[in-house]
Amino acid sequence: MNHIFNLCLIVTCLLIVFTSKADQLTITFTNPVPVAPINCNDTWSEQGVEMEITNDCYFDYGNGYIELYHGILKIDLSNVGIVNKISFSILNTCYEIGFKYYDGNDLIYTEYLDNENNGNLIIYEFENINSAWIEFLNIILSDCNKVTLFDLTIDYNPICETEPISNVRNGDVYLNDACYGVIMTSASGNCFRTKVADSGMLFTEPVECP
């Protein structure tokens, strides 16, 4: 009976239940809040996503696109949640376009598009296969005549609000049977039990959802 009681206790002590489904938003560069950017380091927001242009601020904004010539477009993704996929429509006339993904000051992924598609409309896609936390994206241009960005689309899992169903203070939650663990639901609706190996490393195993 002890292991049943302890299993119930650990479940009630979970603070966040990950039951959110993937969502999507599209930024069309037509609805800036509070106003459209004009100068260097002007910050604006669309669909709740903050953006700014830094460095060389020769750009053109509006009418469903943003044109950059040498500057850096910084896109703040910290309030979105876990980013699954990002895609752009791009009219490329640059020698090279860099996409740099950051978690705070840590650069976690870099990708470059060269001028093989110079003058053509292309689709750029990034898939976050490791579900890394992405705080912001920098789009950096090199030897540019002009690059035009259309329709930024972000697939993401929104941040879940904390909903405590139990508050345990000054103590530990203890399971005395290695068969059991903490069952959590993934964004796709599958359930996994978190357990601990003899080395102390945590691992998960798929289980049927309760």
Condensed to tens digits (0 to 9), the pLDDT of residues 49-82 reads 999 998 877 888 988 999 988 889 999 999 898 9
Mean per-residue pLDDT, 113-123:
72
Q: Is residue 70 within 8 Å of residue 55, measured between CB atoms?
A: yes
Q: What are the residue ranges of CATH 2.60.120.430 in the chain? A: 23-157
Q: What is the model's pTM?
A: 0.70
Length of the chain: 210
Averaged pLDDT score across all residues of the chain: 82
Q: What stretch of H or E contains 98?
A: strand 82-103
Instruction: Supply the pLDDT for residue 36.
Output: 93
Confidence category of residue 118, pLDDT binned at 50, 70, 90: low
pLDDT exceeds 60 at position 170: yes
Instruction: Supply the pLDDT for residue 5.
Output: 39
Instruction: Supply the pLDDT for residue 14.
Output: 37
Q: Which of 56-60, 109-113, 114-118, 119-123 has the highest mean pLDDT?
A: 109-113
Count Cβ atoms below 10 Å from residue 19 Cβ, excluding itself: 12
> How many CA atoms lie less than 13 Å away from 188 in the CB half-sphere?
4
**Cα 58 from chain centroid (whole Å):** 28
* Topology classification of domain 23-157: Jelly Rolls (2.60.120)
pLDDT exceeds 80 at position 15: no
